[in-house]
Amino acid sequence: MMCYSILGPFFPKEAEKKGASNTVIGMIFGCYALFNLLASLVFGKYLVHIGAKFMFVAGMSVSGGVTVLFGVLDQVPEGPMFIAMCFLVRIIDAISFAAAITASSSILAKAFPNNVATVMGSVESFSGLGLVLGPPLGGLLYQSFGYEVPFILLGCIVLLMVPLNMCILPNYESDPGKHSFWKLIILPKVAFISFVITSLSSGFGFLDPTLSLFVLEKFNLPAGYVGLVFLGLALSYAISSPLVGLLSDKMPHLRKWLLVFGNLITAGCYMLLGPAPFLHIKSQLWLLVLILVINGISAGMSLISTFPEILSCAHENGFEEGLSTLGLVSGLFGALWSVGAFVGPTLGGFLYEKIGFEWAAALQGLWALTSGLVMGLFYLLEHSRRRRRSKLQNSLGTEEERTALLPDET
């Protein structure tokens, strides 16, 4: 995750020197999410054919290698050649990252079938830390040693992890499944949860290009302090995720309500980030940081519950229990996250320019509110349907018992 987030502080400035426009720089960032989306679907479908361990190790190897390559791009001549190489390296990195993440989620769910949410929550802690540590560490290394060192150092660390994982990870054999992504996504519950995942991912993505500009403009903070504002969101998410995962595994019946109320609280957070003009609340730095901390916890509540909910729904609807289904769920999760990661910053940047941060954040909150309400309504309908079905089965059972007890008239 540090390899992914390290570009933010210094790459745009370096790319500008090489003749890349702001639009092209945005496309270099955006193409990552697009190819990650496509690759996640492909790798999820063919996980069993390729092999989970091989896919993970190969993804790590390629990702580490292209991260090192990114570090030597400043040696490439400026203009079209530099831009083309940036796109090529970034696309390969997105594909290899999708392979590693899809395989890792499947391996973890296979290795810990009774603690899926706890394990996913623990992994999300490190994802959050990687995202938040990448920019400050990258900026520090860039200032101290120049453009090459941040990429080469992180790329080498990833490559050192490869032999370690080759020794530690078990081999899981499984038969290819007969189900497809289409059969998974058309399940109503999965479709609604997909909307939730995209909404949450978009919310995180929205903050990337907009929050730093808003904080600099509104509170006149030095550029170095902007990263500390983001720290509130990342640390609260990293700390709360494993706790939410543990709660979700210990009390699975709470999972659906963690998902719903997490979304509703997230919606409220985005409304208060600006705050939205219709609330008539004065914007203050302490309030902004507090809202980001709450947002990190509420996003963790929703997000950690989504993977096990999709998995249990797939099993309830006839999907086999094995790597093939885990691959489909992991691939779908990765693809949906990439959709939000692409839509969030793109739409966020556009709305920020047109209507300002306060209204743009409120619209992002409206998305989270809609997904939370739709999910809550679905769960209520599902609960009432199950109650009616159990009552009907009980009454039928009583009728059968009564008929069996009646004396034979003949």
Question: Where along the chain do its domains lie?
Answer: 1-174, 177-393
404 band by pLDDT with thresholds 50, 70 and 90: low
pLDDT at 24 over 80: no
pLDDT at 409 over 70: no
Q: What is the CATH architecture of 177-393?
A: Up-down Bundle (1.20)
Counting every residue written for the chain, the total comes to: 410
pTM over 0.85: no
| Strands in 206-305 per DSSP E | none
Cβ burial of 159 (10 Å; 0-12, 13-18, 19+) is middle
Instruction: Give the integer Cα–Cα distance in Å for 407 and 400.
Output: 13
Tell me which of 1.10.530.10, 3.30.420.40, 1.20.1250.20, 1.10.510.10 is the CATH number of domain 1-174: 1.20.1250.20
pLDDT tens-digit readout, 244-295: 888 887 887 888 888 889 899 999 999 888 788 888 788 788 888 888 889 9
pLDDT at 410 over 50: no
pLDDT of residue 111: 82
Task: Find where tokens 């990833």 sit.
Answer: 158
Domains 1-174 and 177-393 share a fold: yes
pLDDT of residue 407: 57
pLDDT tens-digit readout, 88-104: 998 999 999 989 988 88
Cβ burial of 385 (10 Å; 0-12, 13-18, 19+) is exposed
Instruction: Give the integer Cα–Cα distance in Å for 50 and 45.
Output: 10
275 prior amide bond cis, ω within 30: yes
pLDDT of residue 251: 82
pLDDT tens-digit readout, 38-65: 888 888 888 888 888 889 999 999 999 9
pLDDT at 212 over 60: yes
